[in-house]
Amino acid sequence: MSKLIKLLVLAVFLCVPAFVKADPIVLINFDDPPPAPLRPRAVLELPEVRIYAEDWGKPGDVGVLAESGPDAAAMGACWMRLITGGAGLGYVDDATPQLGIALFAQFQHRGHGEPLMRAALKAAAEYGYRQVSLTVHPENPAIRLYERCGFRKRGLRRTYHLMLADLRST
């Protein structure tokens, strides 16, 4: 990882929503690979999307922000939230948080995603989580990244792969 990249980790990470608010398109553009068009920003108002970042800072919220350069410009974030009661596409059980990851376009495909995700998974393990889930479009090339970081396919959810990482084995 470049010396200019700094990963900030907090058990309850309050900067992640600021990152999402700064350019919320990153939150809604990571599931569908090109040539799928960007989803409209209005998607962020849907209850099934808002659950992942609304009122950030609840007990159990874990996230990592990647910054670059002397001005500490945000590159991206990886965050997870425990969503109980069966909500969320990546729901497994009431003890497994659901992960999201996003990098601004100028930092994508440059090797920043893996250290960002590994730092977030480490933070989740330190918080006490045993596993983490995510969902990903079957044609998204990021599946290889997720597998390198310990995620394994466990099923399909509305045509998306459900993937789990066992944090006890990392």
Query: Residue 63: which CATH number?
Result: 3.40.630
pTM of the model: 0.80
Structure tokens at 8: 């900030």
CA atoms within 13 A of residue 69's CA, in its CB half-sphere: 5
CA end-to-end distance (rounded Å), the chain: 19
Report how far residue 49's alpha carbon sits from residue 46's, in angstroms, rounded to the nearest whole number.
Answer: 5
The structural domain count of the chain equals: 1
Q: What is the CA radius of gyration of the chain?
A: 15
The string of DSSP letters for 58-124 reads -TT-EEEEEEETTTTEEEEEEEEE---TT-STT---TT-PEEEEEE-GGGTTTT-HHHHHHHHHHHH
14 inside domain: yes
pLDDT-based confidence at residue 47 (cuts at 50, 70, 90)? confident
Average pLDDT, the chain: 79
Q: What is the mean pLDDT of residues 138-150?
A: 94
Q: Domain of 9?
A: 5-129
150 inside domain: no
